[in-house]
Homo-oligomer: A and B are copies of this chain.
Amino acid sequence: MERTYFDNSATTRMDRRVMEEMLPYFDQRYGNASSMHSFGREAYDAIELARERTAKALGATTREVVFTSGGTESDNLAIQGAAFANIAKGRHIITTAFEHHAVLHTCHFMGSQGFRVTYLPVDGQGLVDPEDLKRAMTKETILVSVMAANNEVGTIQPIRELGAIAHEGGSLFHTDAVQSIAKLPVDIASDNIDLISISAHKFHGPKGVGALCVRKGVKLRPVVYGGGQERGLRSSTENVPGIVGLGKAIKIGVSEMEDSVARMVAIRDRLIDGTLSSLEGCFLNGHRTKRLCNNAHFRFDLVEGEALVLSLDMKGFATSTGSACSTRSAETSHVLKALGVRPEDSRGSLRLSLSKFNTMEEAERFLGAIGEIVARLRSMAPRAARSGGA
């Protein structure tokens, strides 16, 4: 069966060019970057090239780039790191209610460590209001963390404005840009960003490698301790092939962004319009235009999300209910809850997330299949659910 992959917010297929760049570092240039000999220098040079590429893509300098094991570690290093390092200045952190768990659960942890955390609301369209941030700022605020784009509903936040407000209040500003790299332009200086988290596998790079960009002068406490790699901020033998892959993937991603985004927007819009127009009891979650080029997030009446995703899978479409975490279907998405979606209305969620590898044909195939699948599931539903679920 031909398979269509519409779950690129969960993870992406690696670009062949990225793989090719990585391969020699597995069994030929396999040195440890800290070693003095020629194998070590090859590894070191490869990491530094990746660092340059990453810095360039984010508008940073090479010394500001810290390689990590992924978005989660980057978020933890940013939040735990900045909070513990700036404890003398204050103990107040501001974030939003619909962050990824890597930020949210880290903030919960900080709450247990004597920090006060404010969770900003989001509106029904999935947008943070800068006025809310203004109101939440206190003299004690040391860190504001707002994601660049949401991983479930794809909405894009006014990062530059939020960053400016944080800075005016004397706070550091972190953004989790895991979903927006190679989809939205970013320049940490003009976007008022002190800390930015990225994860390679979300933009056709390898899994298990990410980066945290740390603006000059920002102090962090490490999360793990050891040999002192990455200027002491992230000890461990560097994942050379992974870092090489990240560097290549971000370079490709940013240089081809314009074309890729245009392609994805066209497919996304066809998916959104086609689905909404052909199916009853189907709604779009999140702002219609202030959303990522690759995200279409629906809510279906009278359909349970997991059953829908598995039914689509049986027809060859890889999709998701929203995020790739929970095993309990009964666990309501904290993102939809933050948007004010009623629990009963968040049961039938479907996220389609695209990449540059998707085609319009795949979108048409999807539109040809979704109707029947939804109809079948609805036909099985008991009457009360059938009439009262909306």
Contact = CB atoms under 8 A, between A and B. Distances in A.
A226 B105 CA distance: 6
B226 A75 contact: yes
A96 to B, nearest CB: 16
A44 B243 CA distance: 24
Interface stretch (A13-21, A57-65, A251-259): A13-21
Contact of A320 (B35, B108, B323): B35
A48 interface: no
Interface in A1-36: 3, 5, 7, 10-16, 19, 23, 26-27, 30-32, 34-36
A132 B71 CA distance: 43
B201 A237 contact: yes
Copies of this chain in its oligomeric complex = 2
Nearest to A228: B325
11 contacts: A36-B310, A69-B69, A70-B237, A76-B226, A100-B226, A102-B235, A201-B237, A208-B237, A208-B241, A208-B242, A227-B324
Contacts of A235: 72, 101-102, 105
A119 interface: no
A236 B69 contact: yes
B319 A237 contact: no
Contacts of A159: none
B109 A306 contact: no
Interface string A95-121: 000001110011011000000000000
Nearest to A25: B207
A24 to B, nearest CB: 11
A38 B318 CA distance: 7
Contact of A239 (B38, B207, B317): B207
B101 A37 contact: no
A110 to B, nearest CB: 9
A73 interface: yes
B225 A313 contact: no
Given A76-B225, A101-B235, A236-B102, A39 B207 contact: no
B101 A228 contact: yes
Contacts of A30: 11-14
A10 B35 contact: yes
A348 interface: no
Contacts of A237: 10-11, 70-72, 199, 201, 207-208, 324
Contacts of A10: 31-32, 34-35, 40, 237
Nearest to A313: B37
B37 A225 contact: no
A19 B26 contact: yes
Contact of A223 (B32, B102, B223, B236): B223
Contacts of A73: 69, 224, 236
